[in-house]
Amino acid sequence: MLHLGGLRTALFNYLLARKYGGSFILRIEDTDQKRLVPGATESIIRTLEWAGLRFDEGPGMRGPSGSYLQSQRGDLYRAHAKELLEKGAAYRCFCDSKRLESLRTEATLQGRAPMYDRRCAHLSQQQIDEKLRTGEPYTVRLLTPNAADPAASDISGFDDIVHGEMRFRGPAGFDDAVLLKSDGLPTYHLANVVDDHFMGITHVLRGEEWLMSTPKHRVLFKAFGWPMPRYAHLPLLMNPDGSKLSKRNRDGPMQNYIDEGYLPSALVNYVALLGWHPGGQQEVYSLKELECAFTLSGLSRSKSVVSRERLNWLNRQHLHAELNDPTRTPAIATQALVELRQTPGLDTVDISHETVERALQLCRDRLTLTRDLHSAAPYLFSDPDSEEPAVPAAAINKVPRDSKVSILLAFQELLATETGSAADSSRANSAGPERWMDFSQRVALAAKVPTKQVMPVLRHVLTGQPSGPKLPDLMSYLPLATMQRRAQAALNSKIMKQ
């Protein structure tokens, strides 16, 4: 399943390919059979599609590289492991798991980095042949140069796009890594180097946890005589408390963000700014704008802190923009309608797609997520409790009792003149806000009270809350019958008699 950091890596690779006319390739690294999760490949593809990151080559597509599942490319990896054995750049290791664990334990107790001791690198050909004859299982290990070997200098030093000049000293980066496991499947080291070459990869953008493995990969490229790609190792994503973001964190798995209703455009915008600085003051970007603005020089070596506050701000900006786009509003309304139908206790039988579109437009300045629609304005979908309002009626308590009654009676009378007939009153209110612009003044005039007393009373009657959309906008949304019903309920309530 895709992690937030995985989406960032995919996004930066995608943006690089789009900016410079390259190909964005999705390759599934599924050679570790113990860690395979059923449906994981499909989940990754769905998530990338949700984010708008369309790959040019990948699973389910016929491309020049054959299968894009590494588990189906085993013959290619085994052939190149054999080539390394023939060149003397690799050797067979017959050590069992018990001995390897003993080596790790000993190194840990002595305060050393665990490394294989090359015992099998010194086996004679006769010893190797005998073990093969008896069917003894083995792995294939890379024969890396010793750190003190002058030849190691060219391998250990390289220019990283993010971190600059890198040079590893001592044992770090020079362990004889396993390339082919005893089950015949490759490790990441062999499979990715072989695939990077045959898929024509020119730039490798990946997490900085692979920085220490880069010398091993450079050894492999050199052993095969292949040109090396350029590397950019992206810094880790961190929690606000300074700990590493992981798949077990709420903010780690991508599916959490999708389930919580974040917009793809907002999340992509947010992820792009985790480790990339465009320069200038612009913060809100569409995917197309990111494709044009992205540069490798903007990548930062500093670790990025995952902040829901910043993501929420970006989601508000994108939600507002998409509600201004007639081509996007229907999709936003569909998402909001699905979320409304999941609201406990809310009767959604009569809530139409059109109703939700209008509600979103009415509340767009007050929403962070589409799922906030009901909590931001419950009165758009059900009558407020006139006896026990959600918010104390402090504003209308300042209005004299007789004035409140007069306002409600005038309100009802004027609504009756607007409906025209009982049949009309049950229809959706299709009139625009301009119809209701002077309605408060008309009520005030009919009730013979100041206009400033009318506004809080009508707002309380229609919403049960002291604030919300402008009254003309709200009244253009609510059906006339709904306003009449709420006015009558308020007239009979205790609050209006106080």
pLDDT tens, position by position, 74-96: 999 999 999 999 999 999 999 99
- Coil, strand or helix at 102: helix
Do 161 and 230 meet the contact criterion of CB atoms below 8 Å apart?
yes
Label residues 205-215 b or e (16+ Cβ within 10 Å = b). Answer: bbbbebbbbbb
Structure tokens at 67: 């299968």
Separation CA 439–CA 442 (nearest Å): 5
Confidence of residue 488 (pLDDT cuts 50, 70, 90): very high
Average pLDDT score over residue span 289-299: 96
Kindly report, residue by residue over 110-121, the tens digit of the pLDDT. Answer: 998 888 999 999
Do 336 and 371 meet the contact criterion of CB atoms below 8 Å apart?
yes
Detail the DSSP E strand segments found in 181-336: 203-207, 230-234, 237-238, 304-305
Separation CA 192–CA 421 (nearest Å): 74
204: pLDDT strictly greater than 60: yes
Separation CA 97–CA 84 (nearest Å): 23
Confidence of residue 391 (pLDDT cuts 50, 70, 90): low
For the chain, the straight-line distance linking the first and the last C-alpha, in angstroms and rounded, comes to 59
327: pLDDT strictly greater than 50: yes
Separation CA 75–CA 82 (nearest Å): 11
256: pLDDT strictly greater than 50: yes
Structure tokens at 318: 């994108």
Quick one: pLDDT at residue 153?
Answer: 62
37-41, 161-165, 351-355, 429-433: the lowest-pLDDT one:
429-433
Going by the DSSP 8-state scheme, the letter that residue 226 receives in this structure is: P
Do 51 and 82 meet the contact criterion of CB atoms below 8 Å apart?
no
Do 369 and 401 meet the contact criterion of CB atoms below 8 Å apart?
no
Quick one: pLDDT at residue 65?
Answer: 85
Alpha-carbon torsion (170, 172, 173, 174), positive or negative = positive
Residues designated catalytic: 247
Instruction: Report residue 250: phi and psi, to 5°.
Output: -60, -35
Widest CA span in the chain: 111
Quick one: pLDDT at residue 388?
Answer: 66
Alpha-carbon torsion (235, 241, 244, 245), positive or negative = negative
Average pLDDT score over residue span 176-185: 94
Confidence of residue 179 (pLDDT cuts 50, 70, 90): very high
User: Helices in 21-72 by DSSP H: which ranges?
Assistant: 40-51
Q: Which residue has the higher pLDDT, 493 or 80?
A: 80
How much of the chain, in percent, has pLDDT values that exceed 70? 91
Quick one: pLDDT at residue 424?
Answer: 44
pTM: 0.88
Q: Classify 51 in phi/psi space as left (phi over 0), alpha (psi -120 to 50) or beta.
A: alpha
Q: Which residue has the higher pLDDT, 212 or 148?
A: 212
Average pLDDT score over residue span 240-255: 85
Confidence of residue 149 (pLDDT cuts 50, 70, 90): low
Kindly report, residue by residue over 422-473, the tens digit of the pLDDT. Answer: 334 444 455 678 888 889 999 999 999 999 999 989 999 999 888 889 999 9
Separation CA 209–CA 234 (nearest Å): 9
Separation CA 356–CA 380 (nearest Å): 9
Quick one: pLDDT at residue 62?
Answer: 81
Q: Which among 1, 15, 2 is positioned nearest to 275, based on CA atoms?
A: 15
Q: Which among 482, 314, 324, 459 is positioned nearest to 395, based on CA atoms?
A: 459
Q: What mean pLDDT value characterizes the chain?
A: 90
221-230, 407-416, 421-430: the lowest-pLDDT one:
421-430
